Amino acid sequence: MRHYEIVFMVHPDQSEQVPGMIERYTAAITKDGGTMHRLEDWGRRQMAYPINKLHKAHYVLMNVEASQDAVDELTTNFRYNDAVLRNLVMRTNAAETGESPIMKAEKEQRERKARYDARSDSSASKEQPAAKPAAAAESSS
């Protein structure tokens, strides 16, 4: 069996059907004796260029080890599913199990935002106690 990296883009109006699609495609791969090494649901993202007058799509990445028959069945399913806007199946040399660069970047961005929010919250709380005594002095007089 060979290793493949598969990316497919789903129509944004069909985003709620993506978990069912993933389940069907995973079942098609495992039914033929394949294994799923990595599955990432990237969610709704901006596309590089419009496809069918759409600017966003729901992206899914799968790294699998499967037979050629399973991959052919998968590409046939992509072709006849109107919700799948584009798909890409690439053969790779080895199984990829780590996070993709897209997921790493999103994780770093969330961590950076959390640090920024924590820093801004702590600076806001330092400013508030100084304002309270002045307000208390005005109300007591």
Domain ranges of the chain: 2-97, 99-141
What's the mean pLDDT in 92-106? 82
Q: Which CATH superfamily is domain 2-97 in?
A: Ribosomal protein S6/Translation elongation factor EF1B (3.30.70.60)
Lowest mean pLDDT among 18-22, 36-40, 119-123: 119-123
- According to DSSP, residue 79 is labeled H
User: Per-residue pLDDT averaged across 5-16, rounded?
Assistant: 92
Q: How far apart are CA 78 and CA 8, in angstroms?
A: 8
Q: Residue 99 — pLDDT band, cuts 50, 70, 90?
A: confident
> What pTM value is reported for the model?
0.74
